Each structure stands twice: as structure tokens, then as C-alpha cells.
């Protein structure tokens, strides 16, 4: 199963070190292949370097796509994390 | 304990860097020898590929073990919050973009592990350097730190670690990685200095969390300072003194004792009332920009937030934050401070940051250009979003709103009409807002000073921004080294401006507050009391210092002082007189004038 959704980065620091690490750790909990797309770049959500290099600042839009058995659950978890601004205070 | 070593460093050599963590330390230098591991690219035979890959994977595993060990040994509560940096490094070590890519290079290009790793890292460095956002670009340093660690492991070199330090020392290093800093034991490492780094680097932030003095950006400290030399770290001014003479040693010993005594005794003032000896109350507020500054403000005894800068919310953001995000931010500060009041200043920056169509970089005079309230009034939609967010948040506690850089009555009325429009919109939507919301203007341009009597009829309060007022009043760009010496709040023109503002406000019976640097410097406190400024807003850490001075004076002394100062005609006469007075009144806190 393949699911996909566009998300808005709302936390002030964007996908910085702490947020990127949280994102990778979340993606790693699932067996699905998860990719993140920003503009024309696509990276593996389980690669921290990929996420850092995506340079998604606050206000950027990303498209998260999950492909696999637990795709829906994975997308939901990631969406929650992104929308909560990575619990950044 | 001083270890005397024969060195050819002249006595009292001073290196100047950026003091990033305040305090003074006197001790023995410990140079952390950490030569950069340069990669050694060597072509290999196809038979050697397997062994080379094996070696690379071992080096990765070793690096993981090292980082895990660092993490497991952190027990200091102040450091636990920063452990995510280690997690980031661990994830990089597990990243296929690093591991697989390097292995592929070993196999395909028949290159040894060290050379292949170097290629991978360089590839990433290049991409990182192309990132526009400064904070995200800086993450390159994380990849570099991981790369260095693997290179060390590949070469079989043991990195000297701060863990091995066995007595009290001051660490001198080219750079400290977050992993190094996390290993600092406060009982042994009493301060550190580095050649590179800035105020916001991981290392600086960690030093402040640990509360040990630190200086960064010294450039050549490691090449000049051998191990075991007596040194002094002045983290307040960023001075690093090598081989101090007896006199310097005594001087700094005294400074150190004073600093330590003051920081411990000052905090006691946070609980005391902010009032002069004759019962004149002055409200001491704090200037803040982030939600967590609220906690510090309360600890230091702030009686409110005199200036909540909203710019922080807009920084590093490609698009301006929407109403909801702004509302949440203002609301969290207001709720946490309640019942104490919070004054929110609307956006105070040049507009080029948020509206790309307006390219302001070509403005010849940006400080006189499209910024602050001028930008807000031009971008009305953005302005209304901010006003709506503030109004909604005002429902949750005592709130005031402040418009920056107003130059006259028209602008003030335009602001008020926008505010009214936002208010009407919300009421029509059935959204609750505070019944009472005092509105004020910043007085920071000479024109606002000259029409202060008219402005006072339009608004509920004034807030004087001294940094800009001095700059505009004296036509001095304090960032310009050739004229910065002219920047002085004791210029008679500035004093007259302050007096005019206060007189105008008094006539209309509206309060005046001050939120520039002048407000937080105890040297000026008596002047401000004399002028009748009833609220001072400053960095939270200045509050106890100002309060201590305030509590020693009487209002009448301030009135007499200001009367006398207004008659003096030069900056040096005013300065000299004020220095003499302050020294006479509080000789332990102020220095006498130089003759």
C-alpha cells in the first residue's frame, strides 16, 4: 500500500538536528519505505543526512510518501510529529 | 596552584576573543592536542577490498561505542538536555548515505577506507555549503565531527579526551566537539577557550549551561599556549591572559571574588521590593524574545515583560508565521506571566526578510528606510494578522501593545485604526478579547520627541527606546567604528529629549517606560528616577543589579541630579559629574572619574 501527504513544517528551526533525529527515529519504527520530497528533491526518511540536506526551513512544504504494510500508521505518526512542531519549545 | 614552566611568552600577554560564558577563572593551561586527521588516500588491490571494508565497518562500530560511552556517562542534569547532539551523530554513523556510499567507493574506485570516506564527506560538505539557511548550513559541523572521529579510528589513533584530565585545569583547544564538551567534569575543568566558534555554537551553549567561564574565537590560542602555563580566563570581556604578572594576578583574583560574591548575593535582590528609600516605586520589567525567557525573568524578579520582541517568531522562517502560530506564542507568554503584564511590540525589522518582492537591500539608508511600523502599515494584511493574534492572546492575561518607530500623529492614528479593524473583525466572529488593552508608542525618533505632547493625547503610554533614540538624535551609527565614540546617552541633546518626553507624558498623565540599554545599566538609574520614568525594562539578568542601586537612593537625589546635569553643556562634563556623584554615593559599585 502506498500513501502520501503534503505537510507544512511549522517549527521555527525547521528540520534541524534535533527534529531530523526525531524524524529518522520515527521512520525507523516502521518497515515501510518512507520518502520525503521537497521541491524536486527526494530523500529517504530513514537517512539523517538526507533530511539535513533537504534543508527544510520553517514554512516549507514537504511530501511524505510511505510504501509498505504499515504505510498508513507510519504516515500518521510522521504527520503528528511534523504538525506538533517536533515538540520544540 | 600554579605550575611554573619555563616559557618565552611575555608576561601579561592578552588574547582577545568572544566571551560566551561569564565568570573568571585562574589556573593552569591544558592544551588539548587534537591534530586534524588528514585522510590518506591509497589505491588498493582488488584482493584488499574485503579487508578494507571490514576495517571501515570496525571504525564505524568503534565510533558508535565511543559515542555511546560519552552518552552513558553524562549524569549532569544540565547536560542531559543536550544529548540529542550525540543521537544525531549516532544516526549519521548508521546512515547508508555515509556507510554504503563509502563502501561503494572502496569497491568501485579501489580506494582505501580513509580516502573513500574523505570523498563521501567532501561530497556532503559541498551540498551543505549550498544551503541558504544559516542554522541548517551549520549542521555540516556535525557531519565533519563524525568524519573526523572515523578517520581517527581508521588511523588507530587515540584521541586525547577531556575525561583523562586529573586535576583542575583550563582547557585550550582548537575546537571542542559537542562530545568533548559533554565530557567536561566541572570539578576539574574550570574554564575553556577555543580558537574557533561563535556565541551560538553548541560549545558556547553548553558552557553557559554548565556555568563555567569560556572564550571562543581566539584564533591562535592553541599555537601560542603550551601546556602548564599560568593563564586567566575572563569570560565577561573575552580576555585570555597568558603568564600573568603578580599585579595582574592580584587584580583578577579580586575581580573573581567580586564576580562570585555579586552573582550569589545579587539574586537575593530578586525577592526584594523595587522601591527607593523614600518609597518611590519603580517597576522593573524584562525584555524577552523567547517563551523560555519567561522562567528566567521570574527568577530574576521581573514585575512584567516590558518588551516582548515579536521578531524572533519571524526569523529563519521562509513565510511569516500565521495567526494561529503567533497567537499560541503570545498566549503562552501571557499565560505564564499572568497576572503580571506583558507588553508586545509589533514587528520591528526591515521588510525585505518576508516579502521577497520588496527588495530593500539596495536602500542607501536602511535604518531610515522601510522598516518597523512603516513596513507594517504598508503590508496591512500581515499587520492585521499580527494584531488579531495579539488581541486574541490578550484575553488570557494582562496585555499591552506597542508600536515601534512611530514618527508622528498620522502614523499613530493609522496604527490605531488597524487595531480597531482587527478588533471589529474578531468581535464580529464572536471571538473573545481583553476588555482593556493599553496601547503605546515607542519614542525613538527625534520627530516623536518633538511632538511628544501631541502623541501623548493619542495613546495610553510611552516607551522610550534609547538605543535608537541616541542613534537618530545624534546622527551616529554605533556600528561604524569611526563615529561610534559619539554614541553616548549622556549627550545634553539626549538628556533634553528624555526630559521633553517625560514632561509631555506627565502633562497628559500617561506613564513612561524605558526599554533600551540605558534602562539596564545601574550607572544611569538615578537619572531615570529623577526624570520620573516609572518602568524600566531590561535583560532579566540586569534586574537585580538595577534594583540594588535603586534601593539605596531617594527620589529627591535623582531630582537634584537631573536638575544639575541639565545645566551642563558637554558630554564630558555630564559624564564627569555623574561619575563623581555615583562614586560618592556608592563607592563599592562605581569607579571614580578619571582626572
Interface check B91 vs A, CB under 8 A: yes
CATH number, domain of B469, equals 3.20.20.60
Q: Which residue has the cell 579526551?
A: B161
Residue span of the structural domain in which A82 resides: 2-87
- Both B110 and B211 in one domain: the answer is no
Asked if B85's CB is within 8 angstroms of A57's CB, the reply is: no
Q: Which residues of A touch B (CB under 8 A)?
A: 10, 12-18, 20-21, 24-25, 44, 46-50, 52-53, 55, 57-60, 89
Among candidates A18, A59, A89 on the partner chain, residue whose Cβ is nearest the Cβ of B84: A18
Q: Which residue in the list B202, B415, B418, B491 is annotated as catalytic?
A: B202
pLDDT at B200 over 60: no
Q: What is the pLDDT of residue B160?
A: 81
Strands B230-234 and B24-31: antiparallel
Q: How many domains does chain A have?
A: 1
Among candidates A12, A17, A47 on the partner chain, residue whose Cβ is nearest the Cβ of B316: A12
Q: Residue B406: which residues within 8 A CB-CB, separation 6 or more?
A: B373, B412, B415, B441, B442, B443, B445, B448, B455
- Both B30 and B74 in one domain: the answer is no
Residue span of the structural domain in which B225 resides: 13-34+165-265
Q: What is the pLDDT of residue B481?
A: 67
- Both B135 and B151 in one domain: the answer is yes
Among candidates B91, B137, B325 on the partner chain, residue whose Cβ is nearest the Cβ of A21: B91
Q: What's the CA dihedral at B4, B7, B12, B15 to 10 degrees? A: -120
Instruction: Output the nine-digit C-alpha cell for B432.
Output: 473573545
Instruction: Output the nine-digit C-alpha cell for A51.
Output: 533530511
Instruction: Report the mean per-residue pLDDT for chain B.
Output: 88
Asked if A13's CB is within 8 angstroms of B135's CB, the reply is: yes
pTM, rounded to two decimals: 0.59
CATH number, domain of B240, equals 3.50.30.10
Asked if B131's CB is within 8 angstroms of A12's CB, the reply is: no
Work out the average pLDDT over A9-23: 85
Q: Which regions of B205-263 does DSSP assign to beta strands (E)?
A: 214-216, 230-234, 239-242
Work out the average pLDDT over B380-404: 96
Percent of chain A with pLDDT over 90: 60
Q: What is the pLDDT of residue B318?
A: 63
**Integer Cα distance of B551 and B242 in angstroms:** 40
Instruction: Please confirm, yes or no, whether B491 is among the known catalytic residues.
Output: no
Chain A residues within 8 A of B321 when measuring between CB atoms: 58
**Domain end residue (candidates: B123, B155, B187):** B155
Q: Is residue B302 part of a domain?
A: yes
Among candidates A25, A55, A57 on the partner chain, residue whose Cβ is nearest the Cβ of B317: A57
pLDDT digit string, tens, across residues B206-223: 787 778 899 988 888 888
Name which of B89, B139, B356 to mutate to probe chain A: the one with the most chain A Cβ atoms within 10 A of its Cβ.
B139
Instruction: Please confirm, yes or no, whether B515 is among the known catalytic residues.
Output: yes
Q: What is the pLDDT of residue B482?
A: 79
The ipTM, to two decimals, is 0.86
Q: What is the DSSP letter of B160?
A: P
Asked if A58's CB is within 8 angstroms of B317's CB, the reply is: yes
- Both B278 and B261 in one domain: the answer is no
Chain A residues within 8 A of B98 when measuring between CB atoms: 49
- Both B513 and B573 in one domain: the answer is yes
Interface check B324 vs A, CB under 8 A: no
Q: Is residue B21 part of a domain?
A: yes
Q: Is residue B6 part of a domain?
A: no
Strands B239-242 and B230-234: antiparallel
Q: What is the pLDDT of residue B317?
A: 62
Model confidence band, residue B361 (pLDDT cutoffs 50, 70, 90): low
Q: What's the CA dihedral at A72, A73, A75, A80 to 10 degrees? A: 140
Burial B397-411 (b: 16+ CB within 10 A, else e): bbbbbbbbbbbeeeb
- Give yes or no for a contact between B102 and B117, defined as CB atoms under 8 angstroms apart: yes
**Domain end residue (candidates: B155, B190, B221):** B155
Residue B150's nearest CA partner among B123, B121, B127 is B121
Name which of B136, B293, B294 to mutate to probe chain A: the one with the most chain A Cβ atoms within 10 A of its Cβ.
B136
Q: What is the pLDDT of residue B374?
A: 92
Q: Is residue B8 part of a domain?
A: no
Of the segments B169-183, B541-555, B562-576, which one has the largest average pLDDT value?
Answer: B562-576
- Both B261 and B277 in one domain: the answer is no
Q: What is the pLDDT of residue B587?
A: 86
CATH number, domain of A28, equals 3.30.1340.10
Q: What is the pLDDT of residue B6?
A: 47
- Both B277 and B146 in one domain: the answer is no
- Give yes or no for a contact between B537 and B511, defined as CB atoms under 8 angstroms apart: no
Chain A residues within 8 A of B145 when measuring between CB atoms: none
Q: Is residue B222 part of a domain?
A: yes
Among candidates A17, A25, A50 on the partner chain, residue whose Cβ is nearest the Cβ of B139: A17
Q: Is residue B51 part of a domain?
A: yes
- Both B186 and B291 in one domain: the answer is no
Q: Is residue B228 part of a domain?
A: yes
pLDDT at B528 over 50: yes
**Domain end residue (candidates: B155, B182, B213):** B155
Q: How many domains does chain B have?
A: 3
pLDDT digit string, tens, across residues B54-92: 999 999 999 999 999 988 888 877 788 788 888 889 999
- Both B465 and B545 in one domain: the answer is yes
pLDDT digit string, tens, across residues B300-349: 899 999 999 887 677 656 678 889 989 999 999 999 998 999 999 999 87
pLDDT digit string, tens, across residues B114-153: 999 999 999 888 888 877 776 677 777 788 889 989 999 9
User: What is the number of CB-based contacts under 8 A between chain A and chain B?
Assistant: 80
- Both B516 and B567 in one domain: the answer is yes
**Integer Cα distance of B527 and B444 in angstroms:** 18
Name which of B89, B90, B92, B322 to mutate to probe chain A: the one with the most chain A Cβ atoms within 10 A of its Cβ.
B92
- Both B175 and B306 in one domain: the answer is no
Burial B70-103 (b: 16+ CB within 10 A, else e): bbeeeeeeebeebebbbbbbbbbbebebbbebbb
CATH number, domain of B54, equals 1.10.274.10
Chain A residues within 8 A of B141 when measuring between CB atoms: none
Amino acid at each position: 500500500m502506498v500513501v502520501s501527504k503534503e505537510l507544512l513544517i511549522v517549527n521555527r528551526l525547521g528540520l534541524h538536528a534535533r527534529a531530523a533525529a526525531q524524524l529518522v527515529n520515527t521512520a525507523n519504527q516502521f518497515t515501510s519505505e518512507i520518502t520525503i520530497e521537497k521541491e524536486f528533491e527526494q530523500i529517504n526518511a530513514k537517512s539523517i543526512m538526507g533530511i539535513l540536506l533537504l534543508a527544510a526551513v520553517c514554512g516549507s512544504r514537504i511530501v511524505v510518501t510511505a510504501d509498505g504494510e504499515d504505510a498508513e500508521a507510519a504516515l500518521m505518526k510522521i504527520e503528528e510529529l511534523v504538525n506538533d512542531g517536533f515538540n520544540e519549545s | 596552584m600554579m605550575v611554573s614552566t619555563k616559557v618565552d611568552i611575555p608576561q601579561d600577554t592578552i588574547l582577545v576573543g568572544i566571551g560566551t560564558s561569564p565568570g573568571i577563572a585562574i589556573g593552569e593551561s591544558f592544551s588539548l592536542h587534537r591534530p586534524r586527521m588528514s585522510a590518506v588516500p591509497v589505491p588498493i588491490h582488488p584482493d584488499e577490498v574485503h579487508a578494507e571494508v571490514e576495517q571501515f565497518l570496525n571504525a564505524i562500530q568503534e565510533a558508535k561505542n565511543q559515542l555511546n560511552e560519552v552518552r552513558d556517562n553524562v549524569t549532569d542534569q544540565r547536560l542531559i538536555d543536550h544529548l540529542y547532539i550525540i543521537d544525531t551523530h549516532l544516526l549519521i554513523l548508521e546512515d547508508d548515505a555515509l556507510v554504503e556510499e563509502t563502501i561503494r567507493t572502496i569497491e568501485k574506485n579501489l580506494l582505501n577506507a580513509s580516502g573513500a570516506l574523505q570523498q563521501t564527506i567532501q561530497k556532503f560538505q559541498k551540498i551543505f555549503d549550498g544551503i541558504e539557511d544559516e542554522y541548517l548550513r551549520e549542521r555540516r559541523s556535525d557531519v565533519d565531527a563524525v568524519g573526523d572521529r572515523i578517520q581517527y579510528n581508521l588511523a588507530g589513533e587515540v584521541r586525547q579526551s577531556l575525561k583523562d584530565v586529573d586535576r583542575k585545569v583550563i582547557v585550550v583547544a582548537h575546537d571542542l566537539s559537542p562530545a568533548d564538551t559533554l565530557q567536561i567534569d566541572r570539578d576539574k575543568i574550570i574554564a575553556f577557550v577555543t580558537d574557533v566558534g561563535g556565541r551560538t555554537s553548541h560549545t558556547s551553549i553548553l558552557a553557559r549551561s554548565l556555568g563555567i567561564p569560556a572564550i571562543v574565537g581566539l584564533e591562535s590560542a592553541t599555537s601560542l599556549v603550551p601546556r602548564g602555563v599560568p593563564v586567566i580566563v575572563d569570560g565577561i570581556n573575552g580576555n585570555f591572559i597568558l603568564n600573568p604578572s603578580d599585579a595582574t594576578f592580584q587584580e583578577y583574583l579580586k575581580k573573581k571574588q567580586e564576580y562570585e560574591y555579586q552573582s550569589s548575593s545579587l539574586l537575593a535582590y530578586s525577592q526584594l521590593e523595587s522601591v527607593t528609600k523614600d518609597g518611590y516605586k519603580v517597576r522593573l520589567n524584562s525584555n524577552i524574545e523567547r517563551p523560555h525567557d519567561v522562567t528566567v525573568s521570574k527568577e530574576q524578579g521581573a514585575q512584567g515583560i516590558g518588551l516582548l520582541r515579536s521578531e524572533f517568531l519571524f526569523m529563519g522562517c521562509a513565510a511569516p508565521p500565521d495567526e494561529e502560530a503567533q497567537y499560541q506564542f503570545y498566549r503562552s507568554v501571557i499565560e505564564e506571566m499572568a497576572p503580571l503584564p506583558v507588553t508586545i511590540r509589533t514587528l520591528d525589522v526591515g521588510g525585505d526578510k518576508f516579502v521577497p518582492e520588496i527588495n530593500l537591500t539596495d536602500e542607501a539608508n536602511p535604518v531610515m528606510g522601510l522598516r518597523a511600523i512603516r513596513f507594517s502599515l504598508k503590508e496591512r494584511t500581515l499587520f492585521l494578522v499580527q494584531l488579531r493574534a495579539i488581541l486574541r492572546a490578550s484575553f488570557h492575561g494582562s496585555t499591552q501593545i506597542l508600536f515601534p518607530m512611530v514618527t508622528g500623529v498620522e502614523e499613530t492614528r493609522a496604527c490605531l485604526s488597524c487595531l480597531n479593524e482587527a478588533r471589529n473583525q474578531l468581535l464580529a466572529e464572536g471571538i473573545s478579547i481583553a476588555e482593556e488593552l493599553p496601547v503605546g508608542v515607542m519614542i525613538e525618533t527625534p520627530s516623536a520627541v518633538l511632538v511628544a505632547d501631541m502623541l501623548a493625547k493619542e495613546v495610553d503610554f510611552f516607551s522610550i527606546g534609547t538605543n535608537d533614540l541616541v542613534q537618530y538624535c545624534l546622527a551616529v551609527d554605533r556600528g561604524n567604528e569611526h563615529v561610534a565614540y559619539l554614541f553616548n546617552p549622556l549627550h545634553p541633546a539626549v538628556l533634553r529629549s528624555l526630559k521633553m518626553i517625560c514632561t509631555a507624558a506627565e502633562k497628559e498623565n500617561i506613564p513612561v517606560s524605558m526599554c533600551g540599554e540605558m534602562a539596564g545599566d545601574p550607572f544611569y538609574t538615578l537619572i531615570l528616577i529623577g526624570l520620573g520614568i516609572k518602568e524600566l525594562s531590561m535583560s532579566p539578568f540586569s534586574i537585580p543589579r538595577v534594583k540594588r542601586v535603586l534601593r539605596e537612593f531617594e527620589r529627591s537625589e535623582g531630582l537634584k541630579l537631573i536638575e544639575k546635569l541639565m545645566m551642563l553643556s558637554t558630554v564630558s562634563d555630564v559624564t564627569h559629574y555623574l561619575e563623581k556623584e555615583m562614586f560618592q554615593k556608592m563607592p563599592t559599585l562605581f569607579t571614580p572619574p578619571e582626572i
